[in-house]
């Protein structure tokens, strides 16, 4: 019996040591890894993130499965990302900018599956912001050259989402999509394009999905009609432009900044800062188009 008991004690202490080893070497490091390490997307990327001067660039760039990026592409992407970061830091008056993971897909289908979106019109470029601090880009490998200014706009758009997420934190979910997309478009589009798109909003004023801010939200989310979706984006940009004109950039940001501490939705926070109801501001603006 003594031998059996001794064996049991040895087995138990062996088990404890075994458990300790597991805790030390497997479980503990798991808790220390970043969000990104534990994502399903991480499995798609056999490369380690290309840590290219991270202190300087703030971006951890990674390509999908053994895909060697075309010559010069990394430099090209990083310079666009860095340019976007500098413009946004100055526009939003930020002193720091978080490091972000930038994942580049060259396979359209895989990108669409992971980002759960559809790339319109078989475009060679697309971007997607994941609200956990990750930005995905799709860059068609079949496309011989990618327009740098297009990629710059795209990176500014996605990185504006990142700034809004940083500012809003949990209140990001309480912010209407028209405002988030409108802000991102506001940051990335030059005046000439804004004018062109505003014109298109004016000439489509009679469309039902333009009637209220809620219908604009639904249009942006629309998977049925690409025209409807694009017009939703154009309207969001035009209206955000109007809000910034009317109240000033700082006041609009004051609404955003007040949200996390008050737990209020954008619609409730807006009148507290400006004294006006958003629905009324939209209706007035819409009538005057
Ligand atoms: Zn967006």
CA of 235 to the centre of ligand 1 (A): 14
CATH 2.120.10 fits 41-169, yes or no: no
CA of 128 to the centre of ligand 1 (A): 7
How would you classify the pairing of strands 125-130 and 134-139? antiparallel
CA of 177 to the centre of ligand 1 (A): 9
Rounded Cα–Cα distance for residues 222 and 194 (Å): 22
Q: What is the pLDDT of residues 72-97, one digit of tens each?
A: 777 788 888 889 989 999 999 988 87
Q: What is the domain partition of the chain in residue ranges?
A: 41-169, 175-287
Contacts of 247 (CB under 8 A, 6+ apart): 274
Contacts of 137 (CB under 8 A, 6+ apart): 77, 102, 103, 104, 105, 125, 126, 127, 128, 151, 154, 155, 158
* DSSP-derived 3-state class of residue 49: coil
CA of 152 to the centre of ligand 1 (A): 14
What sign does the CA torsion over 11, 15, 16, 20 have? positive
* Percentage of the chain lying above the pLDDT 70 cut: 76
CA of 151 to the centre of ligand 1 (A): 14
CA of 188 to the centre of ligand 1 (A): 11
Q: What is the pLDDT of residues 257-288, one digit of tens each?
A: 999 999 999 999 999 999 999 999 999 999 99
pTM of the entire predicted model: 0.78
Q: What is the pLDDT of residues 132-182, one digit of tens each?
A: 767 888 888 777 677 888 889 999 999 999 899 989 999 998 999 999 999
CA of 33 to the centre of ligand 1 (A): 28
pLDDT of residue 25 exceeding 60, the answer is no
Structural contact between residues 267 and 256, judged by C-beta atoms closer than 8 angstroms: no
């Amino acid at each position: 019996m003594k031998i059996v008991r001794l064996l049991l004690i040895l087995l138990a202490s062996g088990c404890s040591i075994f458990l300790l080893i597991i805790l030390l070497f497997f479980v503990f490091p798991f808790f220390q890894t970043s969000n990104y390490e534990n994502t399903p997307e991480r499995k798609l990327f056999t490369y380690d993130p290309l840590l290219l001067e991270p202190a300087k660039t703030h971006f951890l760039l990674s390509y999908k499965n053994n895909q060697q990026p075309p010559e010069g592409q990394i430099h090209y992407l990083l310079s666009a990302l860095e340019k976007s970061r500098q413009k946004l830091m100055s526009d939003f008056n930020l002193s720091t900018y978080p490091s972000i993971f930038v994942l580049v897909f060259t396979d359209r289908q895989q990108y669409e599956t992971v980002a759960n979106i559809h790339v319109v019109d078989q475009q060679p470029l697309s971007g997607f912001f994941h609200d956990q601090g990750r930005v995905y880009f799709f860059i068609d490998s079949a496309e011989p050259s990618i327009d740098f200014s297009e990629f710059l706009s795209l990176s500014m758009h996605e990185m504006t989402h990142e700034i809004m997420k940083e500012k809003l934190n949990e209140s990001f979910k309480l912010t209407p999509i028209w405002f988030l997309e409108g802000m991102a478009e506001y940051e990335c589009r030059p005046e000439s394009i804004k004018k062109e798109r505003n014109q298109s909003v004016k000439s489509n004023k009679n469309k039902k999905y333009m009637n209220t801010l809620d219908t604009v939200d639904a249009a942006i989310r629309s998977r049925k009609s690409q025209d409807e979706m694009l017009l939703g984006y154009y309207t969001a940009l035009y209206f955000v432009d109007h809000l910034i004109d009317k109240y000033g950039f700082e006041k609009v940001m004051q609404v955003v900044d007040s949200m996390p501490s008050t737990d209020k939705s954008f619609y409730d926070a807006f009148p507290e800062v400006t004294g006006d109801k958003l629905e009324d501001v939209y209706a007035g603006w819409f009538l005057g188009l």
